[in-house]
Structure 1
């Protein structure tokens, strides 16, 4: 799902074969359309995998903090 302009969050759950909580981020040289009228195209993709309904809460909290930091987003986009 596209969560902010140019940023998408992908997720996987235990029934998808997840063995442990994890997160990764990639930046795309060629932005991709996810079909979101307001926030496309996407150039930052974040993937989150979780083993249950609670273990990823801290990771999401940390991610929200990062995504609210405009300077951090600017640095990520430039890498």
Structure 2
């Protein structure tokens, strides 16, 4: 686990650390206080991953294709 702020992490960085947190919690050999801290960090990491995925999905959804299957431009994404 790093001390890097979750808000600064890329999707890949957050996912890798989240996998490490889950692994530590599943082993069950972590003290209670550390388990709580890990769980809180894991919740933050999960939220970051979900936000980055949503952001990527919105970007993909905004791309429209012309009749030849080529990107024709961008259209506004609802809510942005």
TM-score where L is the length of structure 2: 0.28
More helix by share: 2
Q: Please report the TM-score for the alignment, with normalisation by the length of structure 1.
A: 0.28
More strand per residue: 1
